[in-house]
Structure 1
Amino acid sequence: MISSSSPPTTAPAPHAAPPLTPALVWLMAVACGLVVANIYYNQPLLADIGRTFRLSDSRASLVATLTQVGYTLGLFFVVPLGDKLERKRLILMLLVLAAGAMAAAALAPSFALLVGASLLIGIFSAVPQLLVPMAAHLASDDDRGRVVGKIMSGLLIGILLSRTLSGYIGAHGGWRLVFGMGSGAMLVLALILAFRLPKDQPDFAGTYGSLMKSLATLTRTLPSLRKSALTGGFLFASFSVFWTTLVFFLEGSPYFYKSDVAGFFGLIGALGALAAPLAGKSADTRGPAYAINIGIVMSLGAYLVLALGGYYLVGLVVGVIVLDIGVQVTHISNQSRIFSLVPAARSRLNTIYMTVYFIGGSVGSLAGGTAWAHYQWPGVCAVGLFFVVAAYLVNRFYGNAAQA
């Protein structure tokens, strides 16, 4: 146990955790999916946004990059508060702010304002990373991996189906309508959670400064946390390389598809979410290291398929499915591993892990856009493979002296 993860202040008396019913688990899963979709609505719309403001593809991709940068900032500065403040109140406040940022994006008269609104969308959409450790806190030790897996399945479906939904709506109603509908969804969700989500007061009684200082202590003293964060970050970079550039690839030779078809690939990739509960169950029974290795190998295979067969529809479809399954299996298993380290600091552990994870995503989006601009699809696949290999090397060789 890391005693320095919280300062020696007087903590509130222990409280009884609210019951985690199956209905509540599914509500939290749906909430995670709806909120995380805010981060990914823009990806099938980048070409349309570029045409609206007369921008190059690489410049338009800044919308995706800045949204993920904002999400990373939210993870680092907001999510740790889940170990200090009453979680329900914090979640509801963020949902209302996210609704405002989405509305600002829908009405943005210039690209600069759209980019600014995108940054705020990312910051205020950190809600899933409060709900996941909240569920881990409410779940029993024997059931934690399965519960996290179910909630993550909702989050992953939200990530992938958001592209399908936004691609279709964007093709028929314009990209501004997508952001406007997302704003309304956040307000409706806030209303539902206000009645259904239980209150959950953590025990941390220190200041915000001491809370943030403990992040460094946890990172320094937990090698398994560092290993999981780096592995997840590199693999999510490979994931973002693909999804940021897919719309550009599909709009050109040999496909010449519009944004609605690009979004449809999110529906195909949603098959990866089916692996989430299985990964969580495997983490409960066989340990997370086993599933992490499988996920990395699958991601490597997926990029080989995309590089060699991406110009054929069947190859592209197979590559999408295998890549999504591989990345998500690794991600859920990493989270199962870190949540077992210091139970009283689960929000902070998730902050450290997910901050590195989305730094990887931001780097992947930027690297993918650059690779596409200079080398097209072969460059995208080469960069994606580079990040997968980096994840393998970290998982295989980093901190072997420490117990995973």
Structure 2
Amino acid sequence: MVFAAACGLIVANIYYAQPLTGPIAASLGLAPRWAGIIVTVTQMGYCLGLLLIVPLGDLLENRGLVVWMTRAVAVALLVVAFATRPALFLVGMWLVGLLSVAVQVLVTFVTHLTPLAIRGRVVGSVMSGLMLGIMLARPLASLVAQLASWRAIFVLSATVMLGLSFLLRWSLPRHQSASTQGYGPLLVSMARLFATTRPLQRRAFYHACLFATFSLFWTVTPLLLSSPRFGVSQGGIALFALVGVAGAIAAPIAGRVADRGWIWSATLAAMALTALAFTLTWFVAPRFFIAALGLEGILIDFGVTTNLVLGQRVIFSLSAAYRARLNALYMAIFFLGGATGSALGGWAYASGGWERACMVGMALPALAFLACLTEAGGRRQTP
């Protein structure tokens, strides 16, 4: 429970800004067409942290690494909260993304404490906490912005991070990796691992496509709901974003499915569900549009969460000696997909409205589906 709660609280930091891009851009004087860069910069920082910081889990004592990263992200959140210029705000968000990779050190950490037979179930449980953090971050940020201002959520989260750092230091066991490599060789080895680990290549590509879809949907939806067509307030957007919480139930289910060896078929199902979800708003009367949009969000979150846990089950079944590096590569690649999805979503919505955003959102998981069909021996995959 501590691992799951910590993952949820930390990962929420990189999603608080997502439903607030409009008010933040207006407050800082950032042009509306550049509002999507707020999410993109955060995700790019997260990607860099995955490549440069998460591998330290194979080198340094894990508890101490997580504790100090949690304290550092509290400082970065305060920079964001009190920034008055776009440049300083974006630097702060980049640092928030960079340091929030503590969550991936925690996910790898828990696998070292878990036997293989139940690893999918345990990872699924921890990931359910992480996904709840992602899903609840958006409505919480919108609600706090409605009651106070967009800056308040970052001050609140900085306080929570400081308290969490002391809880983690008190409650987690120490874990020191057996690796004797230096930091430089550790980073160099990641290129070799990526080049030679076929399951990593495939699972990273699959989830890059699906996470791009996820980011696209949750970047565009607040813009759509707040547009003159609907005129939904920040409080209303907060309520709408709560539908995504339902997707978190997919994590423990996917973990159990993975432990049974049904990874390939479940992966295809998750991709198909994510792609088809975008068609729901095409066939409803205008008065049912928001309800259909909410169901669409649930299905997308369910499919993306399922695919994430299935992918991690595959990655965490490989050698424990370089598990942190494999997870870092996996997460970095698909977060690049997420950053791309946010940028594509902003462009598609600005240039072609919701319909064009839906087309792009469908194309990405469809591409992953076609790639997964080529997976040799997929039906027999039982890591």
State the TM-score bracket (shorter-chain normalisation).
over 0.9
Instruction: Report what 2:71 is aligned to.
Output: 96
Question: In 2, are the aligned partners of 1:69 and 1:119 still within 8 Å (CA)?
Answer: yes
Residue 267 of structure 1, CA deviation: 1.5
Instruction: List, as ranges, runs of 4+ consecutive aligned residues in structure 1 with deviation greater than 4 Å.
Output: 307-311, 398-404
Residue 308 of structure 1, CA deviation: 4.2
Matched, 1:303 2:278: yes
Q: Distance in 2 between matches of 1:177 and 1:290?
A: 44
Instruction: Report what 1:10 is aligned to.
Output: none
Question: In 2, are the aligned partners of 1:223 and 1:399 still within 8 Å (CA)?
Answer: no
Matched, 1:232 2:207: yes
Which residue identity is paired with 1:194?
R
Structure 1 143/352 Cα, relative in aligned 2: closer, same or farther at 3 Å? same
Matched, 1:352 2:329: yes
Give the secondary-structure state (helix, strand or coil) at the position aligned to 2:278: helix
Instruction: Report what 1:332 is aligned to.
Output: 309
1:270 to 231, 242, 245: 245
Aligned length: 379
Residue 313 of structure 1, CA deviation: 1.7
Structure 1 191/39 Cα, relative in aligned 2: closer, same or farther at 3 Å? same
Instruction: Report what 1:80 is aligned to.
Output: 55
Structure 1 402/201 Cα, relative in aligned 2: closer, same or farther at 3 Å? farther
RMSD in angstroms over aligned alpha carbons?
1.6
Residue 292 of structure 1, CA deviation: 1.1
1:378 to 355, 363, 366: 355
1:149 to 118, 124, 129: 124
Give the secondary-structure state (helix, strand or coil) at the position aligned to 2:279: helix
Structure 1 254/291 Cα, relative in aligned 2: closer, same or farther at 3 Å? same
2:10 to 26, 35, 40: 35
Question: In 2, are the aligned partners of 1:71 and 1:126 still within 8 Å (CA)?
Answer: yes
Matched, 1:121 2:92: no
Matched, 1:315 2:292: yes
Residue 307 of structure 1, CA deviation: 4.4
Instruction: Report what 1:6 is aligned to.
Output: none
TM-score by length of 2: 0.96
Which residue identity is paired with 2:19?
P
Which residue identity is paired with 2:268?
N
Question: In 1, are the aligned partners of 2:74 and 2:158 still within 8 Å (CA)?
Answer: yes
Which residue identity is paired with 2:139?
T
Instruction: Report what 1:172 is aligned to.
Output: 147
Which residue identity is paired with 1:373?
A
Deviations 1:190-235 (A, max 9, x none): 0110100110101111111111121112111111110000001111
Matched, 1:393 2:354: no
Instruction: Report what 1:16 is aligned to.
Output: none
Instruction: Report what 1:197 is aligned to.
Output: 172
Structure 1 377/310 Cα, relative in aligned 2: closer, same or farther at 3 Å? farther
Q: Distance in 2 between matches of 1:323 and 1:193?
A: 32
The worse-fitting range, judged by mean Cα deviation, of 214-223 and 138-147 is 214-223
Residue 386 of structure 1, CA deviation: 1.6
Deviations 1:121-177 (A, max 9, x none): 000000111111111111011110000000000000000100010000011211111
Q: Distance in 2 between matches of 1:197 and 1:50?
A: 39
| Uncovered stretches (5+) of structure 1, i.e. residues with no partner | 1-25
Question: In 2, are the aligned partners of 1:57 and 1:373 still within 8 Å (CA)?
Answer: no
Question: In 1, are the aligned partners of 2:47 and 2:98 still within 8 Å (CA)?
Answer: yes
Instruction: Report what 2:344 is aligned to.
Output: 367
Residue 287 of structure 1, CA deviation: 3.4
The worse-fitting range, judged by mean Cα deviation, of 361-370 and 387-396 is 387-396
Q: Distance in 2 between matches of 1:216 and 1:306?
A: 42
Question: In 1, are the aligned partners of 2:131 and 2:248 still within 8 Å (CA)?
Answer: yes
Task: Report 1:51-70 matches (<5 A).
Answer: 51-70=26-45
Question: In 2, are the aligned partners of 1:94 and 1:124 still within 8 Å (CA)?
Answer: yes
Deviations 1:345-393 (A, max 9, x none): 1111101100101000000011111111111111211111121112112
| Uncovered stretches (5+) of structure 2, i.e. residues with no partner | none
Matched, 1:288 2:268: no
Q: Distance in 2 between matches of 1:369 and 1:166?
A: 20
